[in-house]
Each structure stands twice: as structure tokens, then as C-alpha cells.
């Protein structure tokens, strides 16, 4: 029986094949070569800090989701990105998946033209074409979902991303997936508390899985942030950064909310030290 993730991936393949007919891989490689060098998302997320005493925020531009439907119209994604950057977001995530999230590469282009912070192309990466595409459109970081990829793909896609100067956020949901991410030498590992097969959220999963991630890696808490209490919970249980979408796009003052989340996270990290 097909899962939600299976259905999303099938649509991603179909849409990608349509883009391939318009822009060849060779053309993408030329565009990627002409793009400005990738920004250092690893450092932006605190990877080089001796003491990781700050909680970083990856702020997401997200119009809709399979679980909640429409979240926000976001007529001007660049303006929203500017608010995120002003609020102190370390990385801005731009959803480019079309069918379930109403995103596009045009959103990524618009945001790239407006802000200087590192950008995550948030999509379901299934083919190297998408990696070249991400770099050609100015992404500095891509998402690899362990549940969607083989071990060989994880290694190969990570290696290609590094060759292009980009960092990789490797998303996990289970202990076995964390083991696979570590085996692939992932340096930025996300724990998504949303089950992509059912879309259910279980925030308690984070604490049990984050402790399995090596200390040298960055730990990203994904999904389930409703407010300060959730931020505090994630930071207290080992998160170096949180990825937040719905709570920001549905807020009238996302700049203030990012600052609030950052402060709450720093306090929780200080308390656990």
C-alpha cells in the first residue's frame, strides 16, 4: 500500500521529468558553474563554534502542507524572507515542491535575490538533476530524506553536493535511519518528528533519537514547533537548530517570533550545560 511519502515522491518524479524536457542536465551544469559560490550553511548553523550555546533557527517559506492544507498565501516570498533574516534566522528554507506544498523554483530565485543568508532548497531529492538544479538556482543546502534513498544514493548525492560547495541536511525518523545517516558521514542530521508515512507528529520521538547522533554532528529538530515550549523541549534535548515553518508563516510578526525562539533556545541550552 502506497504511503503519503510514496505519493509525494511519485509526483516529484513526474514534475522533474517535465523540467528535464525544458532544461537539460548539461544546461544546468553551466548555470551552476556561473552561479555565485555557495554560502557556508555549516558555519551559519554553528558547526564551527567551540561552544554551541545558541539555538539556530531555520525559517521556512511554506504555503501549504499535506497535513494542514493551506497555511498562508505568501504573495511575496522575498519580503517574508527579509523578515526572517532581520529576525536572525541562520538559514532560510524554501519549499520548491509543487503539488503538495505549492512551492516553486521561482520562489527560491526570488528569495536568493533578496537575502544573503544561506538557503535550503526544501524538496524531495530523488535524482542528481535536482542537486544541480538547486545549485543553479542559488541554494546553499539541500535536503536528503533517508527514507526515500538507498545507502548508495545518500553517499553519492552527499558527495556531489559537497563538490558543488553545498551542505546537506540529512533527515531521519528512526534509529535505523540515524545509523544510515551516520554511516553516510552526514554532518547535519535532522530528526523529523512527523511520520512521513502517516503525517502524525510525535514530539517525544526527538529526545529518544537525538542522543544517538554523534557529538560532532549538528542536530536539527524538524516539525512540531508551535511555540516557546516546543522550542525549549527540543533545545533541552540536544537540538542545535530548529526548522520552523507553520508557526512562522501563520504569525503576523515572524521577525519577533524568531527572536523569541532564539532566546528561549539559548536559555534551554544554557540550563542543560
Joined together, the cell numbers standing for residue 35 give 552561479
pTM assigned to the model: 0.96
- pLDDT of res. 240: 96
Domains detected in the chain: 4-272 (3.20.20.70)
The yes-or-no verdict on residue 261 having pLDDT over 90 is yes
pLDDT at 228: 96
For residues 123 and 107, the answer to whether their CB atoms sit within 8 Å is: no
Distance CA 259, CA 186 (A): 28
Q: What is the pLDDT of residue 272?
A: 78
Q: Is a pLDDT exceeding 70 seen at residue 159?
A: yes
- Mean of per-residue pLDDT scores for the chain: 94
**Tens of pLDDT, residues 60-95:** 999 988 888 888 889 999 999 999 999 999 999 999
Instruction: Check pLDDT > 80 for residue 50.
Output: no
Rounded-to-integer distance, Cα 170 and Cα 70, Å:
26
Name the burial class of residue 22, with classes exposed (0-12), middle (13-18) and buried (19+) by CB atoms within 10 angstroms of its CB. Answer: exposed
CA 212, 219, 39, 160 dihedral sign is positive
Instruction: HSE, CB side, 13 Å, CA atoms: give it for residue 163.
Output: 12
Cα angle 267, 187, 103 (rounded to 5 degrees) comes to 85
Please write the tens of the pLDDT for every residue from 181-232.
Answer: 999 999 999 999 998 778 889 999 999 999 999 999 999 999 999 999 999 9
Alpha-carbon dihedral angle through residues 230, 233, 234, 240, given to the nearest 10 degrees: 120
Can you give the pLDDT at residue 197?
77
| Contact assessment for residue 187 and residue 161, using Cβ atoms and an 8 Å cutoff | no
Beta strands in 83-187 (DSSP E): 91-95, 119-122, 141-145, 167-172
Categorize the per-residue pLDDT at 14 as very low, low, confident or very high, splitting at 50, 70 and 90: very high
Q: What angle do CA 253, 254, 260 make, to 5 degrees?
A: 100
Amino acid at each position: 500500500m502506497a504511503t503519503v511519502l510514496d505519493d509525494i515522491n511519485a509526483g516529484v518524479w513526474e514534475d522533474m521529468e517535465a523540467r528535464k524536457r525544458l532544461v537539460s542536465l548539461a544546461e544546468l551544469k553551466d548555470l551552476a558553474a556561473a552561479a555565485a559560490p555557495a554560502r557556508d550553511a555549516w558555519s551559519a548553523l554553528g558547526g564551527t563554534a567551540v561552544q554551541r550555546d545558541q539555538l539556530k533557527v531555520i525559517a521556512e517559506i511554506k504555503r501549504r502542507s499535506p497535513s494542514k492544507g493551506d497555511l498562508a498565501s505568501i504573495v511575496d516570498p522575498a519580503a517574508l524572507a527579509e523578515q526572517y533574516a532581520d529576525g536572525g534566522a541562520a538559514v532560510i528554507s524554501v519549499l520548491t515542491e509543487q503539488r503538495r506544498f505549492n512551492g516553486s523554483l521561482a520562489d527560491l530565485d526570488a528569495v536568493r535575490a533578496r537575502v544573503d543568508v544561506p538557503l535550503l532548497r526544501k524538496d524531495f531529492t530523488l535524482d542528481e538533476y535536482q542537486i544541480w538544479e538547486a545549485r543553479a538556482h542559488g541554494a546553499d543546502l539541500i535536503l536528503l530524506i533517508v527514507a526515500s534513498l538507498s545507502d548508495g544514493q545518500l553517499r553519492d548525492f552527499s558527495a556531489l553536493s559537497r563538490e558543488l560547495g553545498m551542505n546537506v541536511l540529512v533527515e531521519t525518523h528512526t534509529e535505523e535511519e540515524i545509523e544510515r545517516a551516520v554511516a553516510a558521514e552526514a554532518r547535519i542530521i535532522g530528526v523529523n518528528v512527523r511520520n512521513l508515512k502517516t503525517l502524525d507528529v510525535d514530539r517525544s520521538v526527538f529526545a529518544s533519537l537525538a542522543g544517538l547522533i554523534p557529538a560532532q554532528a549538528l542536530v536539527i529538530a524538524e516539525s512540531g514547533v508551535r511555540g516557546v515550549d516546543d522550542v525549549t523541549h527540543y533545545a533541552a534535548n540536544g537540538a542545535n537548530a530548529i526548522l520552523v515553518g507553520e508557526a512562522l508563516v501563520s504569525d503576523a510578526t515572524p521577525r519577533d517570533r524568531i527572536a523569541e525562539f532564539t532566546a528561549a533556545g539559548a536559555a534551554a541550552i544554557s540550563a542543560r550545560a
